[in-house]
Every structure is written in C-alpha cells, then in structure tokens.
Structure 1
C-alpha cells in the first residue's frame, strides 16, 4: 500500500546465525564470512529457487522525514521544538532538558537551521503470533521517534517510524548490532551530507540533516544497544563497575542493597562522557558476532568490565560527545516495581517473599523480624 509513495522497504539477507548481513560490499557473497553457512536454503523437490535463510526488513527513515516537511499539515509542527512557549523551570519537551541544550552548544552549525531533525531510537522484542500453542517466536522492531514535533504528537502512531524489523525466532542479543548497520549508515549520511527536502511552509528546498540523540529500551534491551551487559555484579551501566553488587548466598541474585550512596557521588560525572567510554574498549578484543560465538566473552568480562561487543553507534560522528546515550523505558520500570510489591502482598505464585529471600536477610544481618524461625525445605 505504501510502496507507491516510495515508503516501501528493502530486503537484506542475513546469516541465519546472526553473524553478518549480505549488504554493501558483501551483498553478492554466497556464504557467511564467519561461519561459512550458506546464504540460501537447500532446494527441495528438485526446485532451483534460492530462498534466503533469514531476511532483515529495512525501512529507510529519510522519505518519512521528508514527507513531514512536504505536507502542509505537519510542516508547521516540525518547528515546534524551537518556536514553542517556554516556561522557566518546567520540563514540557525534551528541548528543555540539559542533554538537548548541551548538544546545541556542541554543534551550532546543526542548530543554525531549526528544521534539522532530532531522533530517538526505541527497540524491544515481541511475539507476533497470538496463538499460545504455537512455537515461541519473537521479532525485534527498531523504531525512530521525531522530537521536533510537540510531545503530544511525537509518541503517536503516525509519527513513530519503524526502520528495521529484525527476524527471530530468538532475540538477537549482542548481535542486534549487526542488524543496525544499514540504519547507522543512513544516519551518518543524514548528519554529514543531509538530503534536499521541500519545505511546504516556505515553498523552497533546504538541506535537511538529522541526529540521533539517545536510545530507549527496557533493562535487558539496554545491554543489547549499549554493549554493557546488564547481568551480574557489574550490571549498572552508569557506574560501570565502580559500584559492584553483592551476590546473595541463597537466591544467588545480585543486590546493590546498602550501596546506593555510591551512585550519588557527583565527582563521578566524567564517567558518562562518550569518549571515555570509547577509550575503555580500545584495548579489549571481543569475540566475533554470531551464534557460534554466543558463549564467548572478552578477557576480563565480569571482573574488570562488562563489555560484550563493539557497537556501531560510535560510528556516528557526534556519539562520542553525548552524555545521555541510553535511556531506560519508564513503563517497564514502573511495571516491574509494581508487580514485585503487589504480587508479594498478595502472596501469589510470583511473590518475592520466599524461603531463600528470608535466609538472605539473615545472612546480610538486616530486618531480623523477617528471619526464618527454625528450618524449612528449599523452594524454587
């Protein structure tokens, strides 16, 4: 339906093991460069059709952004972030935030034209099949948000543009970085060169540029886009190991209980600088992407660092200077906190008030009124 509007998508073949894309200089290869797996399935019934094992759907973002300026209905809203009424001390739009203002200070040439676009990237997995008896399968859409629009529009369906549809059946994990490559290349072009776009309000053309300000995901997804694993005693991607969690002896979970003051030290602000983060990974050798290497880790992983892979976001010329590169989705945080408290109060099957939890309290020497009296059998 949208193909005639030049809003279709490009099919990019991928290695079934998530090692690479058959894209760019590798588009004509017949086998994966890493695992040597054939690009195509074996022909059946004597047929000669070549069916790719895995396909990435790539929807270019540029035509969508151009149409926002070409339409007389939306072009007036694309300048809202600059022309809005600002109330001092009130955060009503991302443009009121420190990170937006810091970006403006660092890149005055980009800010000179208020029509240049600010973007946010969102990703999460979901099962496309509603039938509970079907085989478990999940896909990962990657969606871009346009922050030039009013906050009442930027989170609405018509203005949330899916750019990648990463196929399943399982989540790509750290290999999500492999599938981001076409989008990163397009974002680099939109930053360095731009694209000629018609402005319906002024009835002339201009060179539209775009910049990605941050990503938004849940906590597991954060590890996929930020390359810092969100599991284990070094799960915090902000302090990056400066504050290490303690492993609870009975439930075997990581806990930051009693360590919260370490996150309030303002002297550690420099840890957020992108260049510092980039330099931390310069001397680390990471395993190649793909399922055959999914259990391999870089030297020092879980001890001196939690880095899992090299992310292509740092190919963006401005990514080093960003301080707030990755955000946690508030909805997931609220939902998880509520579920843990509410289901514990109801004493449901998902309660956190278990025998092991009580034993961990005793081992930590806290909340003595909740310690177990006598002995009890282990429960799962």
Structure 2
C-alpha cells in the first residue's frame, strides 16, 4: 500500500503474484495455499477476527482477497471460494435453533480447534465472543464449548488424531486443572500449545451429520446437569462396567485375534449361550502395545454410560433403521474416587454380523443395566 502525501488515508496499489503455487488437489485454492500455513489462520486469538467480521480485505502473497458471508473472491480470478472461516452473523441469521446447533458443531468447533494458544487456559476466552452471539440467538446457556439445549449431541465429539499415545498419559493430562472438563472438546490439547482438533461428531464410529440421512437422538435419562464451576456433569443414568470383559470384533480384512483393542472399531460383550452383543467405540487415545500389559488390562476398568439412543432416517429408504443405544465411555479420575473422566464414546455397530451368535446392542439389553449417578469431571 502507498500513503498519499498530505492526506491521512491509504490507497491500495496494483497487486501482483509473487510466486506460483502448485495445485495438487481439486479442493486446493489460491486462498487455501496462501493462508492455511500462516500464523493468522493458526492462532486461537485471531479466530474471532474472522468469525465476528462481516467484511474483510485480506492481503496475501498471491494477491488480495475480499471476504464476506457469501464467500471469498480473489482480486484476479474473481472466482468465488469457500470463506476461510464462517461468519457468525450469517450462521445465526434467519436460522432455526436446530441448524444453529448443527452449524456450531460443524462450522465453529471444527474450524477453531487445532489452533495455537500461548496458554491453553485462554482457549475458552478466545471463543467467548462468538459464543455470546450464539447464546443470544439461541437463548441458551453455553457450557465450555457445548450448549445445554444440545448437550446430548455436543458430548459426542471425536478428535482428528489420537490425543495421547497411552491410556495412562491421557489420565495424567486430565489431572491438569486447566484441561477440564473432560467431557468438553475445548479442554483437550494436541501437544503443549495447540487445542485439539475436532474431526466430527457422533457416538462410536457413527456420524451425527451424514450426507444422505438424518440422525435422530433421543435422551435416555431424566435429567443431565452440566456446569463448569465446579466442573462436572451428573445424572442418574444406566451404566455397564466392562470388567466382565469386552473384545474387539475383527473386520473381514482384520488380522486381529479379537483380544486387542484399537482406538476405534467394533467390539462386543460376551453373554450366556455364546452370544455376542456388538457395538462400535471411539477412544480419546491410541492404545499402543505395551509389553508390560499385553492384554490391555485397563480396558476392564472402563464403564459404558447410557446417554441416549440414535436412529438414522435414510432419505433413500422409508425403512426404520432401528433405535440403538449410545453414550460415553468413562474411567475413574483417580483411584478410590467417585469422579470420572470421559475417555471415549460408544454407539451402533458398523460391522455386519458374521454369524447368528452376534447381535447388535439394543435398548432392551441396556434397560437392565445398573442405575448410578457418576460425576464426570
């Protein structure tokens, strides 16, 4: 930019392309190649500069860009691209509450996470301005990245990468007072200074927002209380301790013997009569092989917590695809403690039954589970 003499204003001079960028994939655009690796697009505190602004002029090495709620326009090509970040004003305007909750999960959470923060404790503050606009539009209470009016769906976040290599390291990290609550994606770091990156929402291996069908969630509890001060989530809910044993359900191309769990997959509970009750799971860590614990004994200390049921209504078929239980996987925060941490989720099985002895987990089976009131911190 060049400053005009004698006048307190600035004029934008002619732009130029300083270097060329190879376009390796169809989804690559000039703006993505220019901005994705910049500090402005990777810092937590700059996120709200994009989401709270209705109009922006962005300067990059490949030229200048004009950004608004409709998209991003490059000064040379004039081709409309997807905006770098969704404008919160466009998301909440003339939109139903259900769509706003969905947009928060898909367009706010997934774009914010993965950003760098000098202090991870600042993560909530760096999102507070965006959350305030949503709170006004929704008339709802915001709780550490989630919404009380959409708490069931919000609890089923899943990270893009395994958060910790070992189960013990995950539990140790959750002792940090700043990495709380464990049921919120905001408190899960990816390294020392980066916020963990959400890749989607859904229990176990299932997705809440599939392209060709809609997921209907139903609560399976009377009340679910969530608060951040003091941190905790409590409810009288049904639980199933996994101390009785659960096993990996190998896929057709899986060489696993069925005894070792991965970070995501299908599993089953053994029942009398050699019957197997199958469900899918997604863990918040990657259970690397441990020579000191080859049988992964920690898995017997986990507990399934029934929170809801999920039913997919396909747009290609009028058939009812069935109602299947879903919920959290928790573990004691400390030995001899009545407090628990979220370490994963479970949901419908995504594996075809290979024999008559394998059945999908159903609601009738869950209604026989023990009722408890655990506090998930």
Task: Give the TM-score normalised by the residue count of structure 2.
Answer: 0.27
Task: Give the TM-score normalised by the residue count of structure 1.
Answer: 0.27
| Greater helix content | 1
